[in-house]
Amino acid sequence: MSYLQRRDKAPKSTGNGAVVGDGSISGDFAATAEFVSCGNCGDGTIRVPGTLLFCTGEGRWRAWLNDRDGEVAAWVSAETLAGLLEAVEAGLRNQTLEWRAVAKRPQRGK
């Protein structure tokens, strides 16, 4: 089962569909591993893998998920790192993350 879905206004990707495999976490965090490593959507179309950034602030763990293919991002926070990982996974699995449009950055050299 794939946890990925194409979101509205997703540009066509020119990625090669390569997958970075890491079976050590894929069981408990299958949706998270797929989000950051898979180059194909569940329907077989090519996608740009997402990025996941961890940081802390105001006494909480925070994660920023950047869906580069869909040009949207979401923040998740929790009191512990384990809780954060579980919240990210649950949000991806249950499609409950609050995605927001990402401002486009100017391309380098232009």
Ranges of each domain in the chain: 30-101
Q: Is it the case that residue 2 has pLDDT exceeding 80? A: no
Number of H helices, E strands in the chain: 2, 4
**Average pLDDT for the chain:** 84
What integer pLDDT is reported at residue 25 of this predicted model? 59
Q: Is it the case that residue 22 has pLDDT exceeding 90? A: no
What integer pLDDT is reported at residue 110 of this predicted model? 61
Each residue of 27-42: pLDDT tens digit? Answer: 789 999 999 988 888 8
pLDDT tier at 21, thresholds 50, 70, 90: low
Each residue of 3-16: pLDDT tens digit? Answer: 777 666 545 544 44
Structure tokens at 67: 């869906």
What mean pLDDT do residues 49-66 have? 96
